[in-house]
Amino acid sequence: MKTRTVCALIFLFFICLGSFSIVFADALQTGIDAYQRKDFKTAYKVLNELAQQGNPDAQLTLGTMYAIGQGTEGITEIERLRASRKLLKAAASKHGENEKVKKLVAQIDDYFAKIKKEENERQEHEVRRLTREKAELEEQEKIAAEKAKQERLAAEKAKQEKLAAEKIRQERLAAEKAKQEKIAAEKAKQEKIAAEKIKKERLMEENLDKLKSTGECQSCNLSKAYLAGNDLSQANLSGANLTKASLAEANLKGSNLSRANLSGANLSGADLRVILIHGNLGEIKIKTNLIQANLKGANLSGANLDGAVLCHTTMPDGKLVYSNCINANLSEANLANAKLTGVDLRRSDLRKAKLQGVDLSRANLTEANLGKADLKGANLSGANLSKARLYRVDLKYADLRKANLTEVSLGKADLKGTNLSGANLTKANLDGAVLCHTTMPDGKENNSGCTQN
């Protein structure tokens, strides 16, 4: 509507000026003629050249063409009005102070200002729209990215859960397989043990039958055999394994027990008297293992026990003998309160032995294994325990004054109230040992291991 108004005013301006009553130059007339023929392309070309040369009529006509949009395709309205305003002002300044021209220019200025304002508002609106769309797009991208992230995390979580489940399944299968293998191995072991037991029992029966029928059983395995009260006189049992065998009240008169192992055997009341060999009255030499053997009430008249291993052995009179205990197996033996002063127990096995209150003063326990033995209140003063194993030993209130504990392993031993005054602890291992009210070699009390009540 405004463009039409401007065009009408411009047309009126042409009439008022009497522009066409003036004789135009040929070039200007050519441009006017082209304009009137609506050959705007030719008119624009001719008039534009004249307008640039300062021809006011050409400027006026070209300004009109810019205002209406004739021959000016490809440029925006604001650009057209800006060019029209410039050309019309230039033309008006050359036509003097014509009121109609002034009015026309003023209206063009108002319209240009309005168009410019609208264009600015449109641009601002477009900027806001683009900003909003950008923000929305960024928000959508953010939401999409977050969604993708969550989906990725969910997928990773599902993957990890699947892997964990598979791992658990594999571990369960492995555990079940290991369990079955263990059960199978245990079954095979038990079957082997049972078969071995049957074999031993059968062999034992064969040995017993052989012994009873022939009196001969050299190097036989008669471990834990029950031979109490049997007549085994003049039997040849040299080298036989009679550990923990029951021979109570058995008649072993004249039997050959040389090199036999009678460790833990019960020989109480057994007859072990000598016999006549090759027409000569001799003595049976029992060079055998009698560790923990019970000979209480046994008849040993004339028997020669030189070289026999007698350690924690109950003699016929009921007394315990510890004359030869080197390398002795006394594991789990009950020696509580026994008087073993100066006894030689080198390299002996005393694991889990009950040694409460035992007197082992000046005893030789070099390299002996006393693991988990109970030595509460034991007297080990002056004893040689060099390189002995005392792991987890209970030595509460034991007397170890001046004892040789060189290179001893006392790991996790209970030394509460133990007296170590003057003891030699060179290279001894006390890792984890309980030290509470413990008298150390220098005479000072160590309470570092006392627990708070």
Residue 29 forms part of a structural domain = yes
> Do 335 and 284 fall within a single domain?
no
Give one word for 382, left, alpha or beta, with left for phi > 0 and alpha for psi -120 to 50: left
What is the predicted pLDDT for the residue at 302? 60
Residue 345 forms part of a structural domain = yes
What is the Cα gyration radius of the chain? 63
pLDDT digits (tens, 9 = 90+) for 288-324: 567 777 777 766 666 656 556 778 888 778 888 887 7
> Do 90 and 10 fall within a single domain?
yes
User: If you average pLDDT over each of 25-34, 64-73, 146-155, which comes out highest?
Assistant: 146-155
Query: Greater confidence, 258 or 127?
Result: 127
Q: What is the CATH number of the domain that holds 386?
A: 2.160.20.80
pLDDT digits (tens, 9 = 90+) for 360-391: 999 999 999 999 999 999 999 999 999 999 98
φ, ψ of residue 404 in degrees (nearest 5): -90, 105
Residue 38 forms part of a structural domain = yes
Q: Nearest to residue 347, comparing CAs of 327, 329, 320, 318?
A: 327
Residue where one domain finishes, among candidates 319, 334, 355? 319
Residue pair 78/116 in contact by the 8 Å Cβ criterion? yes
- HEC profile for 416-430? CCCECCCCECCCCEC
> Do 296 and 392 fall within a single domain?
no
φ, ψ of residue 203 in degrees (nearest 5): -65, -40
Q: Count other C-beta atoms under 10 Å from residue 279's C-beta.
A: 6
> Do 282 and 397 fall within a single domain?
no
Residue where one domain finishes, among candidates 296, 319, 342? 319
pLDDT band of residue 434 (cuts 50, 70, 90) is very high
Residue 396 forms part of a structural domain = yes
> Do 292 and 410 fall within a single domain?
no
Residue pair 2/84 in contact by the 8 Å Cβ criterion? no
Say which DSSP state 409 is in.
Answer: B
What is the predicted pLDDT for the residue at 136? 92
> Do 263 and 360 fall within a single domain?
no
Locate 151 and state its tokens.
């989906």
The domain total for the chain is: 3
Give one word for 69, left, alpha or beta, with left for phi > 0 and alpha for psi -120 to 50: left
- Parent domain of 113: 2-121
> Do 266 and 356 fall within a single domain?
no
Residue pair 247/270 in contact by the 8 Å Cβ criterion? yes
Residue 431 forms part of a structural domain = yes
Residue 419 forms part of a structural domain = yes
> Do 378 and 447 fall within a single domain?
yes
Residue where one domain finishes, among candidates 319, 352, 373? 319
Residue 147 forms part of a structural domain = no
Q: What gap in Å lies between CA 335 and CA 375, rounded to an integer?
A: 10
pLDDT digits (tens, 9 = 90+) for 67-114: 888 888 888 888 888 888 888 888 877 766 567 666 767 777 787 788
- HEC profile for 316-349? CCCCEECCCCCCCECCCCECCCCECCCCECCCCE
* Side chain identity, residue 52: Q
> Do 335 and 435 fall within a single domain?
yes
Burial 378-390 (b: 16+ CB within 10 A, else e): bbbbbbbbbbbbb
What is the predicted pLDDT for the residue at 236? 87
pTM > 0.85: no
* 217-to-30, 205, 251, 334 alpha-carbon distances in Å: 154, 12, 16, 32
Q: What gap in Å lies between CA 19 and CA 102, rounded to an integer?
A: 17
Q: What gap in Å lies between CA 104 and CA 9, rounded to an integer?
A: 6
Q: What is the CATH number of the domain that holds 255?
A: 2.160.20
pLDDT digits (tens, 9 = 90+) for 179-188: 999 999 999 9
> Do 360 and 305 fall within a single domain?
no
Q: What gap in Å lies between CA 239 and CA 236, rounded to an integer?
A: 9
Residue 108 forms part of a structural domain = yes
> Do 308 and 337 fall within a single domain?
no
Residue found by looking up tokens 């609208």 in the block: 118
> Do 305 and 407 fall within a single domain?
no
Locate 39 and state its tokens.
């050959």
